Structure 1
Amino acid sequence: LIQTIGRAARHIEGTVIMYADKVTPAMQTALDETDRRRQIQTEYNQEHGIEPESIKKTISDITDRVKRGAIKEEGADYQGGLEGIPVLELKDIIQELGKQMLVAAENLEFETAAGLRDQIFELRELLALKTNMKPWEKINLLAGNE
């Protein structure tokens, strides 16, 4: 209970609601410990002039982390072996990753979807380089308007 309550407390507007007919000894211990810790933190914050605030991350922070994870998962194939992939196969890979991205977004796995989106963009760039497209065709491809 202490761990769950503490996890919620990390969010600036975190709230824990416990449902029970009566307060058990374990619940009371968790509540007392949480109050004790909150009191210590409040005193420390007042003493040092700290105003609690939520963290702020940009989208690029998240997508960079996801992209690094995708590169680690795919290994050498992802990092360097793409140039040898035939154009038709590259198109199939882009289409498959697009489907995976939509599924990830539907499942609220936004970091995964963002990583897939970035991979798709890189593959589209490679496809644009490998084909003899007119400039406006490349723009449409990179914009996702294949």
Structure 2
Amino acid sequence: RPTGLLEPPIEVRPSVNQIDDLLNEIDKRVKEGGRVLVTTLTKRMAEEMDKYLQRINIKSKYIHSDVDALERVEILRQLRLGEIDVLVGVNLLREGLDLPEVSLVAILDADKEGFLRNEKSLTQTAGRAARNANSLVIFYADKITQSMQRTIDETNRRREKQIAYNIANNIVPKTVKKSIEQIMQQTSVLDIKGFDETKSYAIQNDEDIINIAAEEQEIYKTIPQIEKAIAKTKKLMEKAAKDLDFIEAAKLRDEMFRLEKELEEMKGK
């Protein structure tokens, strides 16, 4: 890694008194200017955890499938800007989720084997802290499952290689830092009202994505051309939201708004 960042170390801690332990860790991270991700097994647990944190004056929010897809983009922006310190969720697996401010990922019930606690899920969730030099991942569990052990072993293997590389190349790990302007640009959707997540479209291949990328710079000559581009962009936006790729969904929604404005201007001529 060019910044010298290491895979975040993983600690296994008992689930007894896990909330008290987690609160201590949250307090430490927030005082250091970091952010915290907490993953639970169910939506109900995420919501209750969020309510509890807010009751004790910890700035938090939760994300799960009942939260409007593009509202999630706004919540991620708030986390990155420090308007909230803790994000509670069920599925925070999305690879490529760029959250360098996150210095702690806490996984509750890490020993409950299943889709959300298999090796792939644990590895991806832990990776949400991989952009911060002071990162830590905590597995709260009463036993170490095979998935947990494989995740820990693979993490340690990668860390050993990364540490050796850094020493050989005289690299000191540095957190990826981005300006407020860069964060705002990455999550540029403010108006989250009116998005319809009930419709879903199956995109058969990557051709539509390629076309959209090419057409972004086009000046459309006719109303039917713009209407077609709007429909295509909307399909891609809704698919991105369904796939939990909120940043891409935000970009596509902004593009759709631009096209709709262009259509209005053309019709007004």
- The TM-score normalised by the length of structure 1 is 0.46
Larger helix proportion, structure 1 or 2? 1
Larger strand proportion, structure 1 or 2? 2
Structure with the greater alpha carbon radius of gyration: 1
- The TM-score normalised by the length of structure 2 is 0.29
